[in-house]
Structure 1
Amino acid sequence: MAAPVQDSIFDTRRLADLKRLSSERSPESIKAVAQQFEALFVQMIMKQMRESTTFGGPSFDGETAQFYRGMADQQLALNLSKGRGIGLARAIERQMGANMGIDTGLSNDIPAPPARAVLPGAVAAKSAAMPANGQNSPAANTAGNTSSGFVDKIWSHAQAAAKALGVPAQFVVGHAALETGWGKGEITRANGAPSYNLFNIKAGADWKGDTVEASTIEYMGGVPTRRTERFRAYASYDEAFRDYARLLTANPRYAQVSGQADAAGFAQALTRGGYATDPMYADKLTRIIGGNTLRTALSSDSL
């Protein structure tokens, strides 16, 4: 567990601690860094308030008085950022956790880490993408607004796909959660209807079914590039999950996915097969599968 950043502005280790924590990948380090950003923000606000207000006469406006007043403001800003603070730190903490694929315990009300799409053909090994059309499907706006609702909605389909793959059902659920931010980022059709494509599988030249276009971020040689791509569209979640299982079992690149009993092994097998080029993809998926959010959702009585 990471050591917390010290609470005094006079502690000379604060900057070193912050640099160290920013390089770590843990909920504790994310929380500490987020609090420091909030403290800086509060300090900026207080500085602007000081500059726009005059009071107390000349004795309060000397350089010495301003120096000590500034130090007091810094300490006050740091103190205010502790605990629940003004709320900015929690927002930063949630976003950092989502971007890094780390379960901070605050992720139920925001999308999971950016989703990556997969090409069914050989080109998939060289690209990855995420839907960025900014639309939420009707399904994502109802029960899918919570992780428990999302899991409850797709659980039976995930079980069927998992059986075909020979993996635990929570692996499949975690994969869908990563790709769509717990259902909130599901690609929709032009009329707002759901595509039911929870795994962001692209429509290659051999795909004969319905398609939907979405703006994506493709990683070409590690460099993100925005593009518009065609994705598969289905008539139901049942059809979508069956196609997902068929893709992973029929394509020899994903031969190591089937039969995986370990979350990290499952995630790494997908990455080795070319499901995504994000260097952190396997880590993100592993963290979601083993995270508190999915664990809590799976313990719901509704399953």
Structure 2
Amino acid sequence: MSTGPTPSTIGHISGATGIDSGLKRTATGENLKAAGQQFESVFTSMMLKSMRQAKLADPLFDSQAIDTFRDMQDQKLVQQMAEHTPLGIGKAMTDFLARGLSATIAENQAGAENGAEPDPNLQSNLTTPRR
């Protein structure tokens, strides 16, 4: 049992998205994958919302309560879609960010070999599982 914050948990904050907002948040493959899923969820939500607005209004089911329920249903649907049947947008973003992070880590290591102080906020554990 934990009696309080330990040095390894201080500074580790994750919000409603589940993405670590600490200093090292972009340095882990797990956080990159979570950010990719979140991005895909937001993108799909915006796409679905635009599709719903483009349809003709139905006077029988046209109320604020129905709209609110449909918005909540759509939000849950797009979260499930991003997790289980992704469109590939989140993976493309994750791969792009991982390449950029790999280049930054390589530059940091090259600087350390030349006598520069390495950046302690960068980690090289980019173990994102491939599908």
Deviations along 1:194-233, one digit per CA (max 9) or x if unpaired, are xxxxxxxxxxxxxxxxxxxxxxxxxxxxxxxxxxxxxxxx
Alignment of 1:216-235 (within 5 A): none
AA aligned to 1:67 is: T
Q: State the superposition RMSD in angstroms.
A: 3.2
AA aligned to 1:94 is: D
AA aligned to 1:272 is: A
Distance 2:24 2:34 in 1: 12
Larger Rg: 1
Change (3 A) 1:291 1:47: closer
1:270 paired residue number: 114
Using CA pairs under 8 Å that are at least 6 residues apart, name the structure with larger relative contact order, 1 or 2.
Answer: 2
2:101 paired residue number: 100
Count of matched residue positions in the alignment of Structure 1 and Structure 2: 109
AA aligned to 1:269 is: E
Deviations along 1:105-126, one digit per CA (max 9) or x if unpaired, are xxxxxxxx26xxxxxxxxxxxx
Distance 1:50 1:63 in 2: 14
% of aligned pairs identical?
A: 22
Query: Quick check: 1:35–1:82 contact (8 Å CA) kept in 2?
Result: yes
Query: Quick check: 1:18–1:33 contact (8 Å CA) kept in 2?
Result: yes
Query: Quick check: 2:29–2:126 contact (8 Å CA) kept in 1?
Result: no
Calculate the TM-score normalised by the size of structure 1: 0.31
Alignment of 1:120-131 (within 5 A): none
Residue aligned with 1:14, SS: coil
Alignment of 1:1-303 (within 5 A): 14-15=16-17, 17-18=18-19, 20=21, 24=25, 25-54=27-56, 57-83=58-84, 85-101=86-102, 113=103, 268-270=112-114, 272=116, 283=122, 287=124
AA aligned to 2:40 is: E
Distance 2:89 2:67 in 1: 27
Shift of 1:18: 3.2
Query: Quick check: 1:21–1:33 contact (8 Å CA) kept in 2?
Result: no
Change (3 A) 1:19 1:66: farther
AA aligned to 2:59 is: P
Structure number with higher strand proportion: 1
4+ long deviations beyond 6 Å = none
Structure number with higher helix proportion: 2
Distance 1:268 1:26 in 2: 21
Change (3 A) 1:69 1:271: farther
Shift of 1:58: 1.5
Gaps of 5+ in 2: 1-14
1:251 paired residue number: none
Distance 2:70 2:126 in 1: 44
Gaps of 5+ in 1: 1-12, 102-112, 115-177, 180-263, 274-278, 293-303
